[in-house]
Structure 1
Amino acid sequence: MRPMLGILAILMLTTPLLAAGRPMTIDDLLAVKSVSDPQVSPDGQWVVYVVSELDRATDKTNSDLWLVSTRGGDPKRLTTAPGADNHPRWSPDGKTIAFTSTRGGSSQIWLLPLDGGEARPLTKLPIDVAGPIWSPTGDQIAFAAEVYPGKTPDETAAKDKAKEAGKSKALVFDRLMIRHWSAWDTGKRNHVFVADVKTGEAVDLTPKLEVNTPPAPFGGSEEYAFSPDGKELAFTAEPLKDHAWSTNTDIWIVPTQGGEPKNLMAANPGGDAQPSFSPDGTRIACLSQARAGFESDLWVLTVRNRADGAIEYQSKALDQPVLSYQWASGRSHERTFEGRIFAVVDDRGTESILEFIFTAPVKNANQSYVQVKGGINTAVQFAQPEEEIVFLRGDAAHPNEIYKAKTDGKGLTPLTNHNGPLLSPLDLAKAEPFQFPGADGDQVSGWLIRPPGFDPKQKYPVLFLIHGGPQGAWHDEWHARWNYAMFAAPGYAVVAINPRGSTGYGQKFTDQISQDWTGRVYDDLMLGLDHALKEYPFLDASRIAAAGGSYGGFMVNWIAGHTDRFKALISHAGVFDLTSKYGTTEELWFPEWEFGGTPWDKPEHYRDRSPSTFVKNFKTPTLVIHGALDFRVPDAQGLGMFTALQRRGVASRYLFFPDEGHWIVKPANRIVWWREIQGWLAEHLKNQ
């Protein structure tokens, strides 16, 4: 039996007694308050936002609305009812906040008057609703809800009740996709509704659409927007056919009084998302991808003329993905249009805020200015009349808090500090960037995180992290799950490389992993680790473990068959056999793009890049982790990896979560996840 080793005891014995603070624990991580969704009032004087925290007694998250002045001062808690109060949005006159709340049992829209008085429910539907946004005219609120196409909310609830009462739970399908991420297709779809602010009466604007709008499973209210006159609603919808092997999404527009939706982006075969009208209504912006079938193609900010659909601005020259954006101003003249947009851009391991300034018509004369750099900056809001921006800001050592700055990035000032008391006794290291020559001699980047109580005279075991995607990146961020400080807490130095395939380093660099999952990216990873070992003498080359999730888990499985340099491996939700994974995953566009076709088109490619092909080389002790509800990388992949390790006689352990999907999110399960990972590392990286 594996000896039971304390999470912190093994390696903290060598750290100085007079450290600046103590290492973080899982209790600390779970106690962190999530600050999110800042929304600036129409007069620019106030910010309403959400604070969420875990109730350890019930293992549930409670969310409340808070208010803080843009001039500073102590925040004020606006809601106190148990449950989840989320997604606050100001009315155009600034007198009322609409939000969703579960205080009545289901998720409904509530209205909170700012001049005093209690919140009241607006909608009282028999189904959950989400994502309320106000019409600029203040008489309607749009929101999203799941219904059976052609059915009302009442009919949807009745059908669900009948299904629940039925003795058989059999499902019948005639087409893909039959399940997505962690849920089976029940036939319901997200639809966009509008509710009358006075009566709460709601109307489905997309009753006949048999696809999700906003797209499932992660689309929110950023995927629909009112026109400035309130007469139209633009929204994002999935493809009407070939859903399982198409990445195409389009921007549609529909009258708010009802009518047939019109597809504005049918000519673009790639993805379109996040529609938004210019303040004067003469333009419509969105994010677009040009290539069909590639979910990680460059997201480009695109501005079109409403009158003729002509593209007047695109951010292609930036060569970095635009993640989100907000109009700051826009005014039209007889011949020109002037506009400003603030956007969040994936920027070499950080997320920067850029300001786009343009005058139409412009074809290639793009102007963009980086205003806020460093760490992760998201959820940007423009605040008039002070010409300020309000946003969330965090980094590897700090969870998100709300900040403000002038529109040129100067005067950066925190407005909240909800986690300060929690963080003050902890020793949390910054993420230190480094660069090195990669597989082609080009520059590749990585991060180093020192352990708590760091002493440069000591030698520290190394935990080598490999990110998922594969088109993703390790950012200078506070992560709720794969948290650098938690990995470093027992006394490990953390090294995280952004090899080719990583986003934010130019689209060519991102593209270079497709159809080459095991070539140059593997070289980048090994070269990056070699560089770190040479550059930082306190890293112990004799005690290194590697861990990764999703594609990172695949690469850990690949490493198991190709090198013995690691003392231990941790594979979370990793692909073991590419051919079997193709037939059981849901988003078929992904393997078809990444491997150049189907397994019957490219059998050698699938076989030669499958970790299952190299099982005879497995020697390294490996912890395998998987969730039963993971439909992206089905759990048979984890079981196959564990079976191969056991059959080869390799020290291994299988951590299986029957109630989790691709990510481990439930608090009790997160505690087990960290306990097993840190126990595995302690066993195999202990002093020799």
Structure 2
Amino acid sequence: MTERRKIQAEDLFKLKSVADPQMATNGMDCVFVETKMLEEENKYASNLYYINIHEKQKPVQWTYGENRNHSPRWSPDGKMVAFVSDREGKGQIFVLDIKGGEARQLTKCPNGAANPVWSPDGTKIAFNAALKDGEAIFVNKSDEKKEKKPLPLEVDKMRYKSDASGFWEGNYNQIAVVHVQSGEVEKLTEDTHDYQLQSWSPDGAYITVTADLNEEKDHSYQSDVYLIQANTKEVKKLTASTGYFGHVTWSPNGKYIGMLGHESEYKNATLAKIWIYDMEAEMLRCLTSDSDLLIGDYAIGDFQQGAVTPGILWGEDNHSFYFLATDHGNTVVYYGTLDGEIYPALLDEQHVYGLTTGGKVDYAVVAISKPTHPGDLFLLNVTSGELEQLTNVNEEILQEIVLADVESIEFKSSDDWDLHGWMMKPANFKEGDKVPLVLEIHGGPHAMYANSYFHEFQCLAAQGFAVLYINPRGSHGYGQQFVDAVRGDYGGKDYEDIMDAVDYAVAKYDFIDENRLGVTGGSYGGFMTNWIIGHTNRFKAAVTQRSISNWISFYGVSDIGYYFTDWQIKSSLSDIHTLWKHSPLAYVDEMETPLLILHSEKDFRCPIEQAEQLFIALKDRKKEAKFIRFPEANHELSRSGKPNLRISRLNYITNWFKDYLK
């Protein structure tokens, strides 16, 4: 038998991601999205695949080509699938007959269309479209050919840019409806607000949307749920502008509306809960108010493409439902009822990043990833808890490479808090070896490392590094008090948690060479990397990614800076002293660790000036530092950036640690 080789950064081109499974109401037919990276074209390709979950046959490819085909949604009768494709340029809505034939394009929106939702009778599809005020829903062919000239950007509001979409160009996210047979399109909303389409009521009378309809948006941080009468366009508000609500779904009889959300008691650190709106009583109640469980998938990773977190998935009895929850390093499938019963239906060391039931209660299709398994679809027998694998998309490469195993660790912080994380030994580790250790720190800070595949970690392990990663205070998955504890204390107990983890690892694992320690992280993890090397010389090398170095300038340059700073540091420009005290740049004179700075040119979340300030300050003091700038990339480089840049980033990280820790 040929010995398996170690994984490389470039193996991303061979690995495939499967996501967004969608089961038809017959409980048998399932469609999903498979995404891969194309090396020569330097882009991603996504296509739809079909599988009958009971026949267990090999999945059948339904769409082809080198475009992005995604967001498949079954018609109510299960005879057609609507999806989004960019085969004509910008993403548009297409429908595909399951009997075969070419996909038929339904929309020709000037800025694309997204998020298809079928009407209950299957004659219409609602969707989202970004439009300027008064702009037509159809592409004007004469305008399509005109060369676009650069124009000045007029800014009169604070929220004029976002990391996801760049500078605001005057588009508002509207709701429209297209007739499947005729192709006729009508706008359901057309004002100067952004609407997010959610779901259609079983009787066809209402469409649920979420929006913030406050006129002054710069200091409004909410998302309300609205009912729009499909015929009259009359609008009714269901939530009380107290927080953030979404993921709206209807019970089959139309009597109840389920939603996920919170009332922002702890700003963006507030746990999402399950809420139920009773249509007859016209009353909203929180079903999980007494629970410390976080509803939804908040696990962080660098591999899956197009993962979708569903809301609550109702059963045919109009009383029970399934949902995902984030809990102690795992994402779990839970079962719940209107009576408030909640218990796990699939509890394991795993990351469930997709869930669909087709409205059934006996079976579900789940997308699962584990540290040594990038991700596949499985059939869950809810009664027995048994899992049966439906896809094996990475079988070929997984037989070719060796992946490093991980061990879960639990320990006490210096102030007696329970902490949880993982230790990954180097690939092909041999007893008696002494190896360098790389500490990884996640972003957020309100996110969670999980029992999930992480390509960066595996690449480091393949190069002979042990990898330590934990969920310090501020992480999701360990209750409300734990996630809120970081706010106002950046560089405090969170820093101590991380250093406690290093102490624990060095004491427990005799294979770690404590004289060869490295540290890296991105976003908040980049902030913490900067903070660490300004407060200890224990690490021999560091890589800071898309980081924060100066909270004073971050306040004005980040797309979220002016309110995120208030929420997280609990300070503003009226208290420069506090902002500077929490800024790693303030401690640059103490930084002695060789530092590699990685940052994207179009990062609007943590703008590149944060990296520039740190780099210049270090070089001016004759410190050892190197700065790598990634063009045409934003804050999401490590997860969804240009393939060649993702590979370069991984190689920069591993090579820096090889140079300084080997």
**What SS is found at the alignment partner of 2:225?**
strand
> What does residue 626 of structure 1 align with?
599
> Are the counterparts in 2 of residues 464 and 546 from structure 1 also a CA contact under 8 Å?
yes
Please point out which of 75, 94, 101 is paired with 1:91.
75
**What SS is found at the alignment partner of 1:410?**
coil
Please point out which of 235, 238, 251 is paired with 1:261.
235
Q: CA deviation at 1:318?
A: 2.7
What TM-score do you get using the length of structure 2 for normalisation?
0.93
The yes-or-no answer on 1:488 pairing with 2:461 is yes
Please point out which of 366, 372, 378 is paired with 1:403.
378
- Equivalents in 2 of 1:655, 1:668: separation in Å? 14
> Are the counterparts in 1 of residues 207 and 228 from structure 2 also a CA contact under 8 Å?
yes
Deviations 1:56-98 (A, max 9, x none): 1111212111111112121111122342221111111111111
The yes-or-no answer on 1:679 pairing with 2:659 is no
> Are the counterparts in 2 of residues 358 and 367 from structure 1 also a CA contact under 8 Å?
no
**What SS is found at the alignment partner of 2:87?**
coil
Please point out which of 11, 15, 18 is paired with 1:32.
15
> What does residue 313 of structure 2 align with?
327
Q: CA deviation at 1:370?
A: 4.3
Please point out which of 177, 199, 204 is paired with 2:159.
177
- Equivalents in 1 of 2:387, 2:372: separation in Å? 18
> Are the counterparts in 1 of residues 472 and 497 from structure 2 also a CA contact under 8 Å?
yes
The yes-or-no answer on 1:116 pairing with 2:100 is yes
Range moving further from structure 2, 146-155 or 197-206: 146-155
The yes-or-no answer on 1:668 pairing with 2:650 is no
The yes-or-no answer on 1:606 pairing with 2:592 is no
Question: Residues 18-97 of structure 1: matches in 2 within 5 Å?
Answer: 21-71=4-54, 72-97=56-81
Please point out which of 334, 340, 344 is paired with 1:354.
334
> What does residue 342 of structure 1 align with?
322
Q: CA deviation at 1:457?
A: 1.1
Q: CA deviation at 1:542?
A: 0.8
Question: Residues 209-224 of structure 1: matches in 2 within 5 Å?
Answer: 210-214=192-196, 223-224=197-198
Question: CA RMSD for the aligned pairs?
Answer: 2.1
- Equivalents in 1 of 2:620, 2:122: separation in Å? 66
Seq. identity, %: 30
- Equivalents in 2 of 1:506, 1:623: separation in Å? 34
> What does residue 10 of structure 1 align with?
none
**What SS is found at the alignment partner of 1:92?**
coil
**What SS is found at the alignment partner of 1:417?**
coil
Question: Residues 430-441 of structure 1: matches in 2 within 5 Å?
Answer: 430-441=405-416
Q: CA deviation at 1:292?
A: 5.8
> Are the counterparts in 2 of residues 465 and 548 from structure 1 also a CA contact under 8 Å?
yes
> Are the counterparts in 2 of residues 293 and 590 from structure 1 also a CA contact under 8 Å?
no
Deviations 1:646-683 (A, max 9, x none): 11211110010121111211111112112211111111
Gap change, CA 1:584 and 1:88, over 3 Å in 2: same
Range moving further from structure 2, 244-253 or 409-418: 244-253
> Are the counterparts in 2 of residues 246 and 293 from structure 1 also a CA contact under 8 Å?
no
Q: CA deviation at 1:158?
A: 7.6
> Are the counterparts in 1 of residues 474 and 486 from structure 2 also a CA contact under 8 Å?
yes
> Are the counterparts in 1 of residues 12 and 37 from structure 2 also a CA contact under 8 Å?
no
> Are the counterparts in 1 of residues 332 and 344 from structure 2 also a CA contact under 8 Å?
no
> What does residue 447 of structure 2 align with?
472
Please point out which of 195, 218, 222 is paired with 2:178.
195
- Equivalents in 1 of 2:227, 2:140: separation in Å? 25
Give the total of aligned pairs. Answer: 643
> Are the counterparts in 2 of residues 339 and 358 from structure 1 also a CA contact under 8 Å?
yes
Deviations 1:351-404 (A, max 9, x none): 111111233xxxxx5433343422111321114668101110111111121111
> Are the counterparts in 2 of residues 313 and 366 from structure 1 also a CA contact under 8 Å?
no
> Are the counterparts in 1 of residues 353 and 369 from structure 2 also a CA contact under 8 Å?
no
Gap change, CA 1:81 and 1:160, over 3 Å in 2: closer
What TM-score do you get using the length of structure 1 for normalisation?
0.90
> What does residue 453 of structure 1 align with?
428
- Equivalents in 2 of 1:160, 1:495: separation in Å? 52
> Are the counterparts in 1 of residues 35 and 45 from structure 2 also a CA contact under 8 Å?
yes
Residue 31 of structure 1 aligns with an amino acid whose one-letter code is K
> Are the counterparts in 1 of residues 270 and 480 from structure 2 also a CA contact under 8 Å?
yes
**What SS is found at the alignment partner of 1:457?**
coil
Structure 1, unaligned stretches of length 5 or more?
Answer: 1-17, 215-222, 332-337, 360-364
Residue 585 of structure 2 aligns with an amino acid whose one-letter code is S
Q: CA deviation at 1:474?
A: 1.1
Gap change, CA 1:586 and 1:158, over 3 Å in 2: farther
- Equivalents in 2 of 1:19, 1:527: separation in Å? 41
> What does residue 302 of structure 2 align with?
none
Gap change, CA 1:652 and 1:156, over 3 Å in 2: farther
Deviations 1:523-574 (A, max 9, x none): 1000011101111111111101000100110011111210000000111011
> Are the counterparts in 2 of residues 461 and 539 from structure 1 also a CA contact under 8 Å?
yes
Gap change, CA 1:507 and 1:614, over 3 Å in 2: same
> What does residue 219 of structure 1 align with?
none
Deviations 1:479-498 (A, max 9, x none): 46xx3212212010000011
Deviations 1:455-474 (A, max 9, x none): 12101110100111111121
Q: CA deviation at 1:289?
A: 1.1
- Equivalents in 1 of 2:331, 2:646: separation in Å? 26
Gap change, CA 1:489 and 1:273, over 3 Å in 2: same
Gap change, CA 1:244 and 1:435, over 3 Å in 2: farther
**What SS is found at the alignment partner of 1:325?**
coil
Please point out which of 90, 97, 100 is paired with 1:106.
90
> What does residue 248 of structure 1 align with?
222
Q: CA deviation at 1:232?
A: 0.9
> Are the counterparts in 2 of residues 376 and 394 from structure 1 also a CA contact under 8 Å?
yes
> Are the counterparts in 2 of residues 92 and 134 from structure 1 also a CA contact under 8 Å?
yes
Gap change, CA 1:569 and 1:157, over 3 Å in 2: farther
- Equivalents in 1 of 2:324, 2:505: separation in Å? 30
> What does residue 415 of structure 1 align with?
390
The yes-or-no answer on 1:377 pairing with 2:349 is no
Gap change, CA 1:410 and 1:604, over 3 Å in 2: same
The yes-or-no answer on 1:205 pairing with 2:188 is yes
Residue 350 of structure 1 aligns with an amino acid whose one-letter code is N
Residue 75 of structure 1 aligns with an amino acid whose one-letter code is P
- Equivalents in 2 of 1:570, 1:204: separation in Å? 49
Question: Residues 284-295 of structure 1: matches in 2 within 5 Å?
Answer: 284-291=257-264, 294-295=267-268
> What does residue 300 of structure 2 align with?
none
**What SS is found at the alignment partner of 1:165?**
coil
- Equivalents in 2 of 1:272, 1:386: separation in Å? 25
Structure 2, unaligned stretches of length 5 or more?
Answer: 297-309
Gap change, CA 1:97 and 1:423, over 3 Å in 2: same
> What does residue 523 of structure 1 align with?
496
> Are the counterparts in 2 of residues 582 and 591 from structure 1 also a CA contact under 8 Å?
yes
**What SS is found at the alignment partner of 1:318?**
coil
> What does residue 13 of structure 1 align with?
none
Deviations 1:214-251 (A, max 9, x none): 2xxxxxxxx51000011211011235344344331111
Deviations 1:128-180 (A, max 9, x none): 11121211111111111110133222488888877x533x4210111110111
> Are the counterparts in 2 of residues 585 and 632 from structure 1 also a CA contact under 8 Å?
yes
**What SS is found at the alignment partner of 2:338?**
strand
**What SS is found at the alignment partner of 2:332?**
strand
